[in-house]
Structure 1
Amino acid sequence: MTRRWLTSTLCVLALLAPGSLGTASASASASEGGRTPLRVTTRNLYLGADLSPVLAATTPQGLVAAVTAVWSSVRATDFTERAEALADEIAESAPHLVGLQEAVLWRSQTPAGPGSATHVEYDFLRILLDELAARGKHYAPVASVTVGSDFEAPRSTPAGLQDIRLTDRDVLLARTDLPARAFSVANAQAARFRDHVPVCRPALGCPPGPALKIERGWVSADVTLRGRAARVVTTHLEPAAPAVQEAQAAELLAGPLNTKLPTVLLGDLNSAAGGVGATPGTATRSYDRLLAAGFQDVWTANRHRPRGPGFTCCQAPGLRNAASGLTQRIDYVLFRGKIHALTADLVGANPADRTPSGLWPSDHAGVTSTLRLR
């Protein structure tokens, strides 16, 4: 992707701001009626900073100051520490599939200048996979999609300017330690949505050439569990523009969700269930549209209905708030077709889930669920 320098990058970063109670049930690892259930988890990893402060920058100097603050937050919300808690969650519930949002790659270039930054500072996906492997849990990406472009801008250091580059990805992980006769994955697909948010603002100056944009996407795969097949789709819908988000939901229904297979949709939909906790401008109809298309929500439909509202968003940007700040339910496991929802649990939502230094694992809680394929 062609890099856009300074002020144009500001516009892009500003709209990437991130939009989740309990541990997985012991029954999640047991067979239901002698039949192995499909276990799935959705987890927004949190890119590590609130990027909205860059919105106030109107000059190159202001942009440098904003990116410097963002990078300081990314370092302070250290993903290498948070990944240990996230890996513990996944290891405990041992899902067959994990949908990841904001599985970002942070890179740098010193000194700042022409060309793209290539030095890896944090690869969230690699760090998490390594932590899982250290726990004897073996996962690999089925497919991934880079959402938006690679965005790069300079920050200030004592030695001068350093470029910081953000690459955002959505990923579907699958277990690799099961025999094919028990669990297999095929027909992996990934794509960006046609509908997106243009981000150039005239007050900040627009670059020549094609307009910058924030793109979102989806990843899907067809899985077979003990002879029973289903399609699993993960996504991260647009939070900043309700009309765009609803168009993306419609594209999902016409695209990867348009199948006769039993279907599971998991991810951060950024659409508050029932409008509870929705902020001004937040899309709420995407969730309702999916339910109208025949999907059910594991949080309300499972056999062992959980207690509480199931809020999944959002902790403070610095992740060190003592009391949970979750007030919205925007992360879901939805299903349609010949599927029974057995359990649903939140992960990373209790104070006890925080890291030894006091970080929440993410600004979202995750949702883990067991589903019986009929």
Structure 2
Amino acid sequence: MVRNRNVSVMDYNVYLGANLNLILQTTRAQLPPLATELLQQFLANNFPLRARSIAQEIKKTSPDLIGLQEMSRVELIPFIGTSAPRVTYDFLTILLRALRQQGLNYRPIAVGNNFSGRSLSTTGYLIRTLDRNVILARVNAPFTYSNVQNNTFSTNLVTTVGGQRTVVNLGWSSVDVRAYGTVFRFVNTRLQSSAAAAPIRMAQATQLIQSLNRRAIPTILVGDFKSDANINAPTYRQFLQAGYTDAWRVGGRGVGNTCCQNFNLLNTQSTLSQRVDYILYRPRRRLNLLGIGRVGISQRSRTPPLWPSLYAGLVARFRLTP
């Protein structure tokens, strides 16, 4: 008889470190100086340093599965004819290294590519970026994994960057997990941001819900949904109406805000004022919530002077019911 049927999951948007809204709706001439400004933001927000804080939060809670958003890859490619070195910041590689330094062993189960882009800067570097959703699994967890999927939404924001038409692709990743004789699906997503993109966000939520409905197994869905649960925003309501339970509403203490610190992560007091990151699950009779809490919200979670991320993370524990 299996006595311990518990599984713990984490949701964390780790934050690129720069406000990409700065380069939307720009002309070709406007882009290089703005790209340089973004690069300065990115370097100042120092993901290798912040990854240490995130790894420490993971060590404190030891989740079995982690859904991560904005797990970027940023490449600085020197212009032809210069002798400057090529530099790559791969958030996945950096975080896995930070986890190993904490004595933790996780492995990527799903890596889903979202939008990508490139821009000349005024520094002598071409900047190339790739946004990703990543699912990590604790190596010694007694689980097996199958049916890994990485998907792109059919409806995405279309904008102009440097005078060029640009599609901001987003999507979701999922994996079926066999644990203690039970199979459940773990899903990680990120939806389109900004109030003006509400119809796009709702279309993405609809597609995700319909896709997950095709196979009726217990599901844990985590992500950055960009829809404030505090005001019962429309996209948030979509998931509740589709039969998902909001773990924070069942087991959370307090308001549970997850967004947002200042873009430069230097604010001395937390400025979290919205709840846009959730852990959702269904059905409740198969997934018994044991508890949920936030991470990355205390002054002790910082690697001074930076907060770990623009967002707070979430960790929930469930007991699987056959």
Q: TM-score range by the shorter chain?
A: over 0.9
Q: Which runs of 5+ in 2 are unaligned?
A: none
RMSD: 1.9
Residue pair 2:295, 2:313 contacting (<8 A) in 1 also: yes
SS in structure 2 of the partner of residue 156 of structure 1: coil
Partner of 2:139: 176
Partner of 1:233: 187
Residue pair 1:42, 1:267 contacting (<8 A) in 2 also: yes
Residue pair 1:296, 1:335 contacting (<8 A) in 2 also: yes
Q: Cα gap change, 1:112/1:250 in structure 2, threshold over 3 Å: closer, same or farther?
A: farther
How far apart in 2 are the matches of 1:56 and 1:247?
A: 22
2:290 equivalent to 1:342: yes
How far apart in 2 are the matches of 1:56 and 1:103?
A: 24
Q: CA offsets per residue over residues 242-272 of structure 1, 9 Å max, x none?
A: 1111111111111134322111000101111
Partner of 1:369: 316
Alignment partner for residue 196 of structure 1, among 128, 145, 156? 156
Shift of 1:55: 4.1
2:301 equivalent to 1:353: yes
How far apart in 2 are the matches of 1:326 and 1:298?
A: 19
The alignment's TM-score, normalised by the length of structure 2, stands at 0.92
Q: Cα gap change, 1:192/1:112 in structure 2, threshold over 3 Å: closer, same or farther?
A: farther
SS in structure 2 of the partner of residue 222 of structure 1: strand
Shift of 1:71: 0.5
SS in structure 1 of the partner of residue 121 of structure 2: strand
Residue pair 1:257, 1:263 contacting (<8 A) in 2 also: no
2:237 equivalent to 1:288: yes
Partner of 2:112: 145
Q: How many residues align?
A: 313
How far apart in 1 are the matches of 2:184 and 2:23?
A: 42
Q: Which runs of 5+ in 1 are unaligned?
A: 1-32, 277-283
Q: CA offsets per residue over residues 297-348 of structure 1, 9 Å max, x none?
A: 111113xxx3220000000010010010100000010000111111101000
SS in structure 1 of the partner of residue 113 of structure 2: strand
Q: Cα gap change, 1:216/1:55 in structure 2, threshold over 3 Å: closer, same or farther?
A: closer
Q: Cα gap change, 1:175/1:363 in structure 2, threshold over 3 Å: closer, same or farther?
A: same
SS in structure 2 of the partner of residue 129 of structure 1: helix
More strand as a share of residues: 2
Residue pair 1:220, 1:256 contacting (<8 A) in 2 also: no
Alignment partner for residue 133 of structure 1, among 84, 91, 100? 100
Alignment partner for residue 49 of structure 1, among 4, 18, 24? 18
SS in structure 2 of the partner of residue 107 of structure 1: strand
Q: Cα gap change, 1:363/1:91 in structure 2, threshold over 3 Å: closer, same or farther?
A: same
Shift of 1:51: 2.1
Residue pair 1:57, 1:63 contacting (<8 A) in 2 also: yes
SS in structure 2 of the partner of residue 133 of structure 1: helix
SS in structure 1 of the partner of residue 95 of structure 2: helix
Residue pair 1:105, 1:120 contacting (<8 A) in 2 also: no
2:11 equivalent to 1:64: no
How far apart in 1 are the matches of 2:192 and 2:298?
A: 27
Partner of 1:22: none
SS in structure 2 of the partner of residue 99 of structure 1: strand
Partner of 1:323: 269
Partner of 1:3: none
Q: Cα gap change, 1:57/1:216 in structure 2, threshold over 3 Å: closer, same or farther?
A: closer
Structure 2 counterpart of 1:166, which letter? T
Shift of 1:112: 5.9
SS in structure 1 of the partner of residue 160 of structure 2: coil
How far apart in 1 are the matches of 2:212 and 2:150?
A: 9
2:85 equivalent to 1:91: no
The alignment's TM-score, normalised by the length of structure 1, stands at 0.80
SS in structure 2 of the partner of residue 106 of structure 1: strand
How far apart in 1 are the matches of 2:100 and 2:175?
A: 23
Partner of 2:168: 214
How far apart in 2 are the matches of 1:313 and 1:46?
A: 11
Q: Cα gap change, 1:335/1:112 in structure 2, threshold over 3 Å: closer, same or farther?
A: farther
Alignment partner for residue 206 of structure 2, among 226, 239, 250? 250
